[in-house]
Amino acid sequence: MCAFNPPDWSVARSELRDLLAADGWPASLIADAELALHELFVNAWKHAGSPAPLVTLALSPRRLRVSVCDDSPVLPEEPCAPADPLSLSGRGLHLVRALTHRFGVDLRKQGKAIWFELEVTA
């Protein structure tokens, strides 16, 4: 069960934006990365019950990897069919898949890390 109020993700968003802007990434990819991060962050809070999900950013030349960790061992369902257009939820992983080049899940000793990667082309 999660708390009524979602955790503040503004620090993670700000760090992500600053990191990519300093590296010269285009604004459109920065926006995609922010939205994908938001979706994973909210999923970790809402579905895994993490009061403050751990976010890790890794930037190598031309590639970004963002991981959001939670303590739940429950793996997300693979997004297969689009959500009902009238549904209030169920689109998060579809968005992450559409906005990023790769995403997946790594199991940890306790819980999991859901990650995505984006690449900038010259």
CATH for 33: 3.30.565.10
pLDDT of residue 79: 59
Q: Which residue has the higher pLDDT, 30 or 2?
A: 30
Look at residue 4 and tell me if it is in a domain: no
Taking a C-beta distance cutoff of 8 angstroms, is the pair 35, 78 a contact? no
From 4-8, 40-44, 81-85, the region with the lowest mean pLDDT: 81-85
Determine the length of the chain: 122
**Which range has the top average pLDDT, 10-14, 21-25, 79-83?**
21-25
2 in any annotated domain: no
Mean pLDDT taken over the chain = 86
- pTM (two decimals): 0.85
Is 1 among the domain residues?
Answer: no
97-116 residue pLDDT tens: 999 999 999 999 989 999 99
Query: By mean pLDDT, which of 27-31, 52-56, 73-77 is the weakest?
Result: 73-77
Q: Per the domain annotation, does 68 fall within a domain?
A: yes
Spatial separation of the C-alpha atoms in residues 31 and 27, rounded to whole Å: 6
Give the chain's domain count.
1
Domain of 88, in residue numbers: 10-119
